[in-house]
Structure 1
Amino acid sequence: MEFIWEAAKYTWAQYDYGRNLKENLEVLKTQMRELRTRESDVKNELNTAEVMHGKKPKGEVTLWLENVEKITSQMTTIEEDYTQVGRHFLCSPVTLGKLVVKKIEEVAKLREKGRFSEGLFAHLLPEMGNMPTTKLVGKTTAERNLEKLWESLMDDEVRIIGVYGMGGVGKTTIMTHIHNRILQSSRIFGITIWVTVSQDANIERLQKGIAIAIGLEFSHEDDEIRRSVKLFQALKRREKFVIILDDMWKKISLEKVGIPEGNACKIVLTTRSKNVCRSMNCQKIIQVEVLSREEAWELFKGKLGADMVLSPEVEQIAKLVTEECDGLPLGIITVASSMRKKDDVREWRNALDELKCSMTEIEGMNDEVFPILKFSYDRLKSESVRSCFLYCALFPEDYRIGDEDLIRYWMAEGLIDDTGDWEKKVDKGHTILNGLIDVCMLVRCKDDEVVMHDLIRDLAIGITRKSPRFVVNAGIQIRGSIGIEEFPEDADRISFMSNKIEMLSGKPNCPKLSTLLLRKNPLSRNISPEFFNRMNSLRVLDLSDTQIQYLPASVSNLENLHALLLNNCRRLREVPSLAKLKRLRILNLSDTDIKELPDGMECLVNLKELYVASTDRRNIVSCNSLVLPDGIVKLYMYECDLSSLPCLSHLQRLQTCIIIYSRSMEWLLPIRDDSTITSLPSIRKLSLGGIPNLRGLCEGVLLPGSFACLRYLTVQYCQVLENVMSLELFQHLQCLEYIGIIGCSKMEEVIKGGEEAMVEEGYNSINNNTILLPNLRSFHLVDLGKLKSICKQVIICPSLNTIVIKGCPRLKKIPLSLGNSTSDVEGEIQGSKEWWDALEWDDPNTKTLLLPFLKVGGQVGGRRMKRRAEEESEEVASTSRQQ
C-alpha cells in the first residue's frame, strides 16, 4: 500500500499547488514511467498467452488498460499545458497544480490495481450470439434447402460445403438460420464464426474478419504470414468449430488465411457460382432452389399487405406479375413492395407489360434477377428519389450509412428540392429515405442506419456506369498514391472511401464532378496543391477521418461547394480562406487540430450547419468573434457561448445548438440590449455539456414563444448548476420529447419554482398543480447526488415510454403521471429498497408501471418485482372502482 501512502502525502501538501507544481510534476512523471512499465509487462503477457493458449483478458484487465491509455493521453496534455503556464490565462499554476496532484492519486491507484493478484485471464472464449434473421419464405422449399445443409454439417466425412444459387434466392437468410441452429446445438460445435466475404475481398480482410469473430487482436499486424500463423494457432486449439464464409466470389487459399485442415473444422461457403464451390474443393455442393409457384404467390400477397384486397381481375394479373419474378424471394419482395396500395387494373396491366419488357441493358448485368430489380427501380416515384437511391452506391459494400449523414449528402448535392426552409428539406429527406425502405431498396439495420443489399447495390453501380457516371472504388484496399488516371473527365460522382490511399497527385480535369468522397483514407502524404483546380462543379467534398495536415489552396476556389467535411482529421492544422465559398451550406471542422476558424467565415452567407466542437480539450477552436450568417440552423461549438457572439439576431432560425466545455458561459441566454431576439424560437435540439459556470438557460423573463419548438434537451456535467429552468419556461415546452440531465453534482431541483400555482391560462393543464407535456417520450436523470426535487407540479406525460433514474439517492418524489399508459414503458431505476419505499408518488399507477425496472444492489427486480407490480396494479384498479 506504499503507493496509496505516497499519494496521500501529496494530497496533504495541496495547500500551495502553484509553489509545488514543478516538484509534483516530476513525481507524476516518475509514477507514470513505472505505470507504463507495468502496462508493457501486462500487454506482453496477454499477447503471449493469447497466441500460445488462446486465453483472453478479464474485463477488469481490459478496463485497466483503457484507463492507463486514457491517463497517458491526459499526461501529454498536462505537459503541454505546463509549457504555457503564465502565457495563457487558461493555464494558471494553481489550476494545473491541483490537476497534477489529482493525477498522482489516480496513477497510484492504477499501479495498485495493476497487480491483478487473481490473474489476468478470463476462463471463457468469446462467442457470437444468435443472429437476427427474417422468416424463411416458402416453407417446403426453404425447409428442404435447410435440411440438406444441416445433414451435410452432421456428416463427419464432409469438411467443406458449398451453397450456391442466383443472387436474391435467399442463401444468406438460410445461413443465418443454420448459424442460430448450430448455437442451439452447442454440444456438437464448440464455436461458430461468421465472416461476410463480399466481392472485393482479399486475404487480409478475411483474416481480420475471422480474428474479430474469435476475439484475436492483430489489427496492427501488417504481415500476412504472421497473421496466418496467429490465426492457425488460435483456431487449432478449438476442438470443433464451423466457419461460415458468406458471399464468396472467387477461390481463396484457406492455407494462406490460416484455417487449419481436419474434420474438427467445418467450412460452409455461399456463392452465386457453382464454379467457386468446385474451385474450393467442396465435398458437398448444395443449390438453393427458387420458390414454387404457390410459395411465390403467398410471399407476394404477404408483401402487398394483409389489408389489401384484390379484385378477381387484378388478382389474375398479380399472379402473372409474380410468375415474372421466377421464384426469386428478393425480386418478389421488391416488386410487391412497389405495387402496394395499387388497385387500378390498368396500373397492374401496365406493370406486367413493363416487367415482361424489362431489359437491363446494363453492362455485366445479365443475372435473371436484375430485370426484376430494374423494374422496381424504374417504378420509384420520381427522378429525385431515383437519384437519392443511386447515391447510396457510393458507399462500400455492406456499409452502414447514418440517416442524418445520408440526408445531408443528398441536400448538399441538390437531390432534394433546393428551395424553401432547410428543416423542410430535412423532413423531405427522411420521407424519401423511409420510402426507399418501404419498397425494400434500402434495408433498415439500426434505428438510425441503413444498408444496401449487395445485389441492389450491384444494380445501382451498373446503372451508374453510363449516366449518371459514377466511379465507385470504395472499400477495395487501394494503397499508395492515385492520380489523374483514376478521375475520368466525364465522371459525375467519385468515391474512394475506406481505402489506404496516402497521396492524391496531379491536377485531374473533372468539370462535371459534383461529389468526391475520400473519407477513411490515410492521406498522410497529403494532396497536391493544384488537385482541385479543375473541379469547378464540386458540391460535396468529404475528407473526414483522414490524416491530412493541411488543405491545398485550390480548395479556396471551389465556389459551388455546398458541403466541406473535415471532421476527425485530427492532424489538420490549417484550412485556407473560405471567402469564395458563398454557396457553402455545411462546414464540419470538429475534432481537428485547428486553433482558429478559417479566414472568410463572414462571407458564408448560405451556411446552415457549422460544427467546430472537439472531443479533445486541447483543440480549442476560437470562434468568439464569429459573425453567424443569417439562417444558420445547426451550431456545434466548443469553448464558446452565445453571449460572446457579436450578433444574436441571426439565431432566430437556429434549430440545433450543441455547446461543450465553455468556461466563460453563465447563461445560455443572458440579458442583453437585443434581448428581444434571444428567445431561440426555432430551436429543436439543445445540448450543453461540461460547462463549469453555467447557472441556467435564461437570465431574466423570456418573451412568449421562447423555446416553443424545443424537442430534445440534454445537460451534462455542469457542476455549479442548481436547476435547469423555471417552471414558467418549462410549462411552455409543449413539443419536448426528450430530457436528459446527467452528472450535475450541485443540482437540487430540475425545475425551479412552483410552490404556488404558476400555470398560465391557455396552456395544457388539468388544474393549477399539473403540467401536460403531451409529446414527452424519454426522461433521464443520472448521477445527480444532491437532487431532491424534479418539479413541484405533477407532470402528465401520456407518451412517455422510457425513463432512467440512477444515482439520485436524495430524490424524494417522482411527480410523473403516465395518464392512461399501459405496460409499453421501459427503463431503469437504480436505488436502495429503502429509497424506493420512501419515494412519494402523485400517481400510484406510475409507481406500479415502473416497479419492474427497479434495480436494487445492481439487480433488476425480475419476476418477483413484476408479480408485485401486478398485485399493486390490481389494488389501484380496485380502489379506482370503489371511488
Structure 2
Amino acid sequence: MVGLSDIPCVGKIVDRISDAAVDALFRGFSYVFSYKNHVKALETEIQKLDTEMQRMSRRVGEEKDNGKIINAGVSTWQTDVEEVKKSAEEILEKYKNRSSWRCIQWMPIPKPLSRSRLGREAAHKAKRVTELSDSANILLANEIAYLSPVENAPISDTVYQTFKSRSDAYDELWKALESEGGSSILGIYGMPGVGKTTMMESIWKEALVKKIFDKVTRADVGNEDLDVFKLQKQIADHLDCHLNPEDDERHRASQLKNRLMNEEKILIILDDVWREIPLHRIGIPLGDGYSSTHHKILLTSRKKKVCMDNKCLHPVKIAPLDTDEAWQMFRNTVVADNIYLLPDESLAQEVCKKCGGLPLLIHAVGKALQFTSHDVWKDALNQLEKGNFEKIADIDPKVYACVKLSFDKLPDDAKSCLVLCSLYPEDAHIYINKLIRLATGSLLVHGGEARIRSMVEILTSSSLLLDSEDYMIKVHDLIRDVARSIAVQDPKYLFSSVRCGSLLPGDVDYCTRKFLRLHLEKNDIFFPDGLVCQDLHNLWIQCNRHAQQFLGDFFGMFVNLRFLLIENMLFCLELRFSLRPLVNLRTLMLDGCQMTQTNANFFPENLETLCSWNCNLPQPLNLPILKHLKKLEILGWDTEVQMAPNTISSMTSLQELHIQSGYKIGDGVSAPILGEISKLTALKSLQIFFLSNSEHFQDTNIFANLLQYNIRVGANWLRTKSRISVNRFIELQGSGLEGLEGLIERAEYVLLDCTDIDVGSIYNSNREAFTDLKDLYIENCNTIEYVARISCGEIQHLKSFSNLGLLEIKDCSALKYLFSNSVAKCLVHLQKLAIVNCPMMEAIVMNEGTSDRDDDIINFCKLQWLKIDNVPRLKSFCIQNKDMHSRSTTHNSAISSSQAQPLFDKKACFIYFIINFNSKITEIC
C-alpha cells in the first residue's frame, strides 16, 4: 500500500511537517521539565545586561557632560533595554509568586501548560536579552555620540534696533539678496560707529531664519596688509572645510572654490573692507561665469569708493541717526529716569547731539554718564565742546571727542587694559587670560587676575569692548584707533605699534617709548647701533613663524627691558640666539614658538616670571638655575613636559607653578615629582596634573601652604566641568590618594571619580570643612554612604556647604542619603542637584531628630534644577533616621509602587525649579 510519504514532493512536505511537529513536541516537554533552568538562565542574562547597561549609562553620561549628542542607535538600545527588563521582571515575578502548579493539590502531578508557558517565555526573553548584551559591546566599541554642528550665526549679542531712517537701506539690501538676478556683490558703507556691522549681522541672522541661503560665511578683512590665508581660513571654517596650512595659496584657493561650488546658495560676508579684494586668490568663484543665483557677497566698508572698486554697483549708505532717533536711543541707554533727575534736560540733549547720531558713541557715552550728577554732565559737555583733539585718519574730531570722554570716565586700570587691547591687530580675538598676563607682566595693572577680569567687565558693559567667542573679547576698530592714539600720546603709556621689514621705520621716536610692539614681516630685522631706549621697559615681538635673525645692536637698544613677549618665532640652533644679555629682564612670555632647538643658555638667569603657551618645547626642557624665578607657567599642550632631575627643586623662590599637563623627570619611566615640588617652601599656587596615583601625598606638607591650586590626579584634565572661575580646584581619580584631604576641605571645586576618599569622613573629622565649596561631583565611589551628616545635639551654627551651588552624584552603589537635615539647612545657595544610578539610596535628607516642627523645614530657596534618575529605592525626600534603619533591615529589593510615598513630604521648600524624574516615584507633593 502506498502512503503519502511515498508520493514525490508530497512526501518531503509530510516529512518536514513531521519533523517540525516532533521538534515542537520535544521543545514543549523541555519547557515543562526544564522551566526552572530557563528562568535561571534568564536571571543570569539579566545580570549581564545590567552590567552592560551601567557601562552604557556611564559612557552616555560622560558624552553628555562633554556636550555631545547621543547617537539614535544608542538611545534606541537604552529604550529597548528598559522595555525588555520590565517584561523580564514580570516573568521572574510570576515565577516567584507561583503558589502551586499541581493539577491535584495532594498529588504531585504538575500543570504542564503553566510550566511550558513560563519556560517558553523565559527562553525567548533570555535570547532577546543576550542579543541586547551583544549589541552593547558593538555599540561601545565605536563612537556613541557626536558634537553638534557649531551654529553658524553671529556671536555678538548686540541687538539691532530698527529705525525709520534706516528701514529703506535695510529693505534695499534684503530685496537684492532675495532676488535671483541682479548684482552678485552688495555693499554697505558709512562712517565708523554708524552701525554697519550691526546691520550686516542682523541680515545674516534673518537670512538663516528665512533660509534664503544654504550657508552664510564671514571673514573680517581689516586695514592690515592682506592676509589671504587668514581670509581663506575664516570662510572655510564657517563651511566646515578644513584647509591644510602646509598647502600653498593656490591649492587652498582651489579647495575652497570647489567647496563653495558644491553648495547651492551661499552668502559670503566680507566685513570692514579697505581695498579691492582679489577674490580669485582667496578662492571665491564669482566673476568666473558663475551665476549670481548661486552665491552673493555682502561687504561693509567706510568708503563708497572701496565698495565700487570691489564691483559693487549700487552700495547702500548707512547714515547717522536723525535727532529724534538718536535721542530715543540715548534715553534708553542712560535710562530715562536718570535724565528726569537732571535740573535741565537740555543738557542731556546737548551731550546726545555731540555723539553725532552714531549708535556706538551714543551707547558708549550714555553708559559713561549713567547714574552721574548734574556737575558730571556739565563737565562732559565742556570736554566734548573743546574739540581740540588729534585728527586720526577717517575719524571725525567729534567722534574722537566722544570716545575720549568714555575713556576718561574709566578707572585707571580699565584704561590700561583698553590700551593694551589696542595693540592687537584689527578684528583680533583677544584671549582674556593672555590680556591678564600682559597687564600684570608689564606692571600696568596691579591687583592680579580678579582685578583685570573686573576691568574687562567694566569695558564690555561700557561698550568699549565686545564679547567674542568663549574666553575672548574684541575691540571695535573705531575704539581701537582712538585708544591707540591715546596710548601714543599719554605720558603714562607712550605706546607704539610698528610693522617693519628688514629695517625699523624712521618715523617713530623709539627713545621716548615705554611699550613697543614690533610686527616683523621678514626674518632679518636690523637694529641700528647706538640707539638706546632708556625708558623702553616692555617689548612685544610678533613674528611670522620663521627663523628670526636679530641683526645689529638688538641688546643695546633694549638694555633696560623688563618685559618681553615673543609670538610665533622659530628658534634655530644655527642662529645661537640667547636672551642672556638682557640682564634686567624679569618677565619672559613665549606664545606659539618653535623651541625644540633651544637650550639652557637661551634663558636669562634673573627671570622672575617665565610663561610658555602653545610652544613646541625641547625634550627634555633645559632650564638654567633660576633662583629668582617666582612664576613658571607652561600651558597649551596635552603631553607631559620632560625635565631634568632637580630642575624644579632648584627654583627656590618659586611661588607659582602652573604646568597644566604635568611633567616627568628624565627620559625614562616617570619618577615621582612630588619630592621636588615639596622643596618649594615659598609655593603659594600650584596647577598640575599627576598622571598616576603613585605619588606619596601623605608624606608632604607642601599643600597646606597653597592659597590657589588646580590639581588633577589620574583623571583626564579635559573633563573639567566647572561652571565658574575658581581659585581652588581638585579632581581625583583612583585609589590610594591619602594626604589630599586638606585640599579637598578647602576647595571650591571637587570632582571624585572611582576613589575611596569619603567626603563624609572628611567632614566628620573637621566640622569647618567645605565652607568655600561651590561645585561637588562624586562618581563611581562605591564606599560612600552619605555626603555629610551631623547629629541634632551638635552646634547648629554651621557654615559648611553654605556656598554649594551644584551637587552631582552618579553611580554610587552604597549611597543611602546625601545629608542629615542639620547640614541640609546650610544649602541656601544650592541651584542644581542631580542624583543618577544610586540603587541603595532611600532619601535625599535624613532627619536625625524625631520632631515634625515647622523649623525642621528645609528651605532650598535657590534650587533651579533637580534631576533624579534610576534611584529605585528612593521613597521620600526627607525621612526619619529610625525609619531608614527599619527599612534597611526588612527590605532587600526596590520599593514597589504600592509602597511609594509623596517625595516632598512637606519637609522641603522650593521657590521654583525644573524637575526631571526617571525613577519609581508615584507621587510628587
Compute the TM-score of the two structures, normalised by the length of structure 2.
0.67
Q: 2:795 aligns with which of 728, 746, 760?
A: 760
> Residue 352 of structure 1: CA displacement?
1.8
Q: 1:317 aligns with which of 343, 347, 350?
A: 347
Corresponding residue of 2:802: 774
Corresponding residue of 2:497: 471
Q: 1:183 aligns with which of 188, 208, 212?
A: 208
Aligned mates of 1:517, 1:202 — CA distance in 2: 23
8 Å Cα contact 2:839-2:871 kept in structure 1: no
Corresponding residue of 1:854: 916
Corresponding residue of 2:79: none
What SS class does the counterpart of residue 352 from structure 1 fall into?
Answer: helix
Q: 1:563 aligns with which of 609, 634, 657?
A: 609
Residue 500 of structure 2 is aligned to residue 451 of structure 1: no
> Residue 289 of structure 1: CA displacement?
1.2
Residues 316 and 185 (structure 1), Cα distance of their counterparts in 2 relative to 1, 3 Å cut: same
Residues 131 and 348 (structure 1), Cα distance of their counterparts in 2 relative to 1, 3 Å cut: closer
Corresponding residue of 1:294: 324
Corresponding residue of 1:633: 685
Aligned mates of 1:464, 1:781 — CA distance in 2: 52
Q: 1:224 aligns with which of 245, 249, 263?
A: 249
Residue 284 of structure 2 is aligned to residue 259 of structure 1: yes
> Residue 326 of structure 1: CA displacement?
0.9
8 Å Cα contact 1:131-1:180 kept in structure 2: no
What SS class does the counterpart of residue 800 from structure 1 fall into?
Answer: coil
Corresponding residue of 1:622: 673
Aligned mates of 1:193, 1:855 — CA distance in 2: 41
Residues 442 and 486 (structure 1), Cα distance of their counterparts in 2 relative to 1, 3 Å cut: farther
Residue 417 of structure 2 is aligned to residue 388 of structure 1: yes
Residue 320 of structure 2 aligns with an amino acid whose one-letter code is V
Superposed CA offset, 1:373-431 (max 9, x none): 2332233333x4422321223445444444444334323332234xxxxxx64443333
Residues 848 and 761 (structure 1), Cα distance of their counterparts in 2 relative to 1, 3 Å cut: closer
Corresponding residue of 1:748: 784
Corresponding residue of 1:151: 175
Moved more, 544-553 or 162-171: 544-553
Aligned mates of 1:830, 1:227 — CA distance in 2: 51
Q: 1:791 aligns with which of 812, 819, 833?
A: 819
> Residue 220 of structure 1: CA displacement?
4.5
Q: 1:549 aligns with which of 596, 600, 607?
A: 596
8 Å Cα contact 2:843-2:875 kept in structure 1: no
Corresponding residue of 2:3: none
Corresponding residue of 1:582: 628
Corresponding residue of 1:736: 772
8 Å Cα contact 2:824-2:858 kept in structure 1: no
Corresponding residue of 1:829: 867
1:10-159 residue pairs with structure 2 within 5 A?
128-129=152-153, 132-137=156-161, 139-155=163-179, 156-159=181-184
Superposed CA offset, 1:275-300 (max 9, x none): 22011101320011111122222222
Corresponding residue of 1:352: 381
Residues 277 and 454 (structure 1), Cα distance of their counterparts in 2 relative to 1, 3 Å cut: same
Residues 763 and 737 (structure 1), Cα distance of their counterparts in 2 relative to 1, 3 Å cut: closer
Residues 320 and 158 (structure 1), Cα distance of their counterparts in 2 relative to 1, 3 Å cut: same
Superposed CA offset, 1:139-196 (max 9, x none): 223434322321222233131101111111111111111111112211x333222333
What number of residue pairs does the alignment pair up?
Answer: 712
Compute the TM-score of the two structures, normalised by the length of structure 1.
0.69
Superposed CA offset, 1:619-662 (max 9, x none): 77834223224362344353589965987378435232414239
Residues 556 and 205 (structure 1), Cα distance of their counterparts in 2 relative to 1, 3 Å cut: closer
What SS class does the counterpart of residue 284 from structure 1 fall into?
Answer: coil
8 Å Cα contact 1:494-1:513 kept in structure 2: yes
What SS class does the counterpart of residue 518 from structure 1 fall into?
Answer: strand
Corresponding residue of 1:495: 540
Corresponding residue of 1:435: 458
Residue 612 of structure 1 aligns with an amino acid whose one-letter code is I
Residue 751 of structure 2 is aligned to residue 715 of structure 1: yes
Moved more, 597-606 or 565-574: 597-606
Superposed CA offset, 1:662-697 (max 9, x none): 99xxxxxxxxxxxxxxxxxxx951313334422574
What SS class does the counterpart of residue 777 from structure 2 fall into?
Answer: strand
Residue 702 of structure 2 is aligned to residue 658 of structure 1: no
1:665-704 residue pairs with structure 2 within 5 A?
685-695=728-738, 697-698=740-741
8 Å Cα contact 1:483-1:505 kept in structure 2: yes
Larger Cα-atom Rg: 2
Residues 227 and 550 (structure 1), Cα distance of their counterparts in 2 relative to 1, 3 Å cut: closer
8 Å Cα contact 1:736-1:775 kept in structure 2: yes
> Residue 356 of structure 1: CA displacement?
2.4
Corresponding residue of 1:609: 656
Moved more, 733-742 or 239-248: 733-742
Residues 198 and 492 (structure 1), Cα distance of their counterparts in 2 relative to 1, 3 Å cut: farther
Residues 151 and 527 (structure 1), Cα distance of their counterparts in 2 relative to 1, 3 Å cut: farther
Superposed CA offset, 1:431-481 (max 9, x none): 333332333222344675433223322333334446523436699997773
8 Å Cα contact 1:164-1:272 kept in structure 2: yes
Corresponding residue of 1:92: none
In structure 1, list runs of 5 or more residues that go unmatched.
1-57, 64-104, 418-423, 664-682, 765-771, 877-883
8 Å Cα contact 1:196-1:246 kept in structure 2: yes
Aligned mates of 1:112, 1:661 — CA distance in 2: 23
Residues 434 and 845 (structure 1), Cα distance of their counterparts in 2 relative to 1, 3 Å cut: farther
| Percent of residue pairs identical | 22
Residues 286 and 376 (structure 1), Cα distance of their counterparts in 2 relative to 1, 3 Å cut: same
Superposed CA offset, 1:326-346 (max 9, x none): 11111122222222222132x
Corresponding residue of 1:573: 619
Corresponding residue of 2:234: 209
> Residue 855 of structure 1: CA displacement?
6.4
Residues 808 and 144 (structure 1), Cα distance of their counterparts in 2 relative to 1, 3 Å cut: farther
Residue 185 of structure 2 aligns with an amino acid whose one-letter code is I
What SS class does the counterpart of residue 208 from structure 2 fall into?
Answer: helix
Residue 684 of structure 2 aligns with an amino acid whose one-letter code is I
Residue 543 of structure 1 aligns with an amino acid whose one-letter code is L
8 Å Cα contact 2:417-2:435 kept in structure 1: no
Moved more, 265-274 or 591-600: 591-600
Residue 194 of structure 2 is aligned to residue 169 of structure 1: yes
Residues 362 and 337 (structure 1), Cα distance of their counterparts in 2 relative to 1, 3 Å cut: same
8 Å Cα contact 2:527-2:550 kept in structure 1: no
